[in-house]
Amino acid sequence: MSRAAIALVAAVARNGVIGADNRLIWKLSTDMKRFRALTWGKPFVTGRKNFESIGRLLPGRETIIVTRDGGFDLPGARVAHDIEAALSLAEEIAREMSVDEIIIAGGGEIYRQTIDRADRLFITEVDLAPQGDVHFPTIDPARWREVKRERGARGERDEAEFTYVDYVRREP
């Protein structure tokens, strides 16, 4: 089996904001269903602060929490102390699970450290421009090719309009 693809999954506002005060700043129930479908049954890498904002382990994923805190431990999750260790562990888990994709699920610092290694981006463009203190890295069109764009069907539990946009890394 070849190396598992690395996919970043994020909901990003028009101004690049993805969060504020260690929390999501919008509710998009429809997008959460897509997030579940994209991440289910795969190694799931997230930063400690992002994990704490979620508040629990998400079922159906092998969670790897990246933290500099040497004493951090969480039953049911694996812990890595830097992104290199997290990606190595995720690759090992992907092989064990016979899956071909590793999910990077935030937060901002983890996205920043992995976007240059990613093969795919699954972005939900949120039609808002809120104040926030966490941003998604800029998606450089010289490096990323849009392969799919689909307007989301806003449901009654969605606070904004949104569009799903998938990217693949451009060949060098």
List of domains in the chain: 5-169 (3.40.430.10)
The predicted-structure confidence for 61-77, as pLDDT tens digits, reads as follows 999 999 999 999 999 99
**CA angle, corner 31, sides to 25 and 36, nearest 5?**
115
The length of the chain, given as a count of residues:
172
The predicted-structure confidence for 18-75, as pLDDT tens digits, reads as follows 999 988 899 999 999 999 999 999 999 999 999 998 889 999 999 999 999 999 999 9
Residues sharing a CB contact under 8 Å with residue 59, sequence separation 6 or more, in sequence order = none
| Mean per-residue pLDDT, 102-114 | 97
- To 10 degrees, the CA torsion angle through 46, 24, 166, 162? 170
- Structure tokens, 65: 């929490």
Model confidence, pTM: 0.95
pLDDT of residue 1: 59
- Structure tokens, 79: 């812990």
**Residues 160, 47: Cα–Cα separation, whole Å:** 26
Compute the mean pLDDT over every residue in the chain, rounded to the nearest whole number. Answer: 96
Burial of 76 (0-12, 13-18, 19+ CB in 10 A): exposed
**Residues 21, 60: Cα–Cα separation, whole Å:** 27
User: Are 19 and 108 within 8 A, CB to CB?
Assistant: yes
pLDDT of residue 158: 97
